[in-house]
Amino acid sequence: GQNIDQPTEMTATEGAIVQINCTYQTSGFNGLFWYQQHAGEAPTFLSYNVLDGLEEKGRFSSFLSRSKGYSYLLLKELQMKDSASYLCAVTDSNYQLIWGAGTKLIIKP
Amino acid sequence: GAVVSQHPSWVICKSGTSVKIECRSLDFQATTMFWYRQFPKQSLMLMATSNEGSKATYEQGVEKDKFLINHASLTLSTLTVTSAHPEDSSFYICSARDQVGPDYEQYFGPGTRLTVT
């Protein structure tokens, strides 16, 4: 079956760095997404990785290792507004998005 | 950037009635749209994939007679929840794939919160 695992909840301090991990097992792979979702709102796109390596975009970076079925989202200089759920999603061989359950990130002052 | 709208943003209806939710791609054409449902503190669950001009493909466990999907044009898909019950109360989100963009790109609407009393 298809499976995406990520931690349920993480806590970090304002100004610090946090890494959210995601491991996946899917039938085929056509890219991995990270989305941010605030409570009661739709997901917003953060990053897309299809090749191995690190993609940096401002305070957010995303890493992919296809051989290990592993990705992480790195958030630097954490701000209170970063408190949200972070969803990992993989596009399978049919270009269908397979979603992880999401990681709720709590930022403390 | 690509914008997807949903209407209404929230709706309260009585049990047994039907509710229609619209999903529009405002500045691009979408041959494929997706409908998701999200219960509190849970991840998105794909309900169906809607292709313009053809029947929607429903995920296992989703009743096609209860959740009617129509994708009549390249910019509009509708989801009708028929004979709604309180357990249908959820956050419904659509997304749209740009006809001319890479296959991976999906743009999400703001969601519709349905409460059935």
What average pLDDT values come out for chain A (109 residues) when binned by 10 residues? 91 98 94 91 89 95 97 98 95 83 95
The per-residue pLDDT for A105 is 97
**pLDDT value of residue B84:** 96
Q: Give the model's pLDDT for residue B100.
A: 67
- Phi, psi at B56, each rounded to 5°: -75, 155
Which segments of chain B are extended strands (E)? 4-7, 10-13, 19-25, 30-38, 45-51, 57-58, 67-73, 76-81, 90-98, 106-108, 112-116
Mutate to test the interface with A, among B44, B46, B113 (most CBs of A within 10 A): B44
Distance CA A48, CA A89 (A): 10
**What pLDDT does residue A80 have?**
97
- What pLDDT does B103 receive? 59
**Cβ–Cβ < 8 Å for A97, A106:** no
Average pLDDT of every residue of chain B = 90
In this structure, what token pair is assigned to residue A35? Answer: 């989305």
For residue range B5-59, what is the model confidence (pLDDT) as tens digits?
Answer: 999 999 999 999 999 999 999 988 888 899 999 888 778 889 999 888 888 999 9
Q: What is the pLDDT of residue B107?
A: 87
CB pairs under 8 A between A and B: 41
Span B71-85, mean pLDDT? 93
Chain A: closest CA distance from residue B66 (Å): 23
Q: Touching check for A44 and chain B: CB below 8 Å?
A: yes
B104–A48 C-beta distance less than 8 A: yes
Identify the pLDDT of residue A97: 81
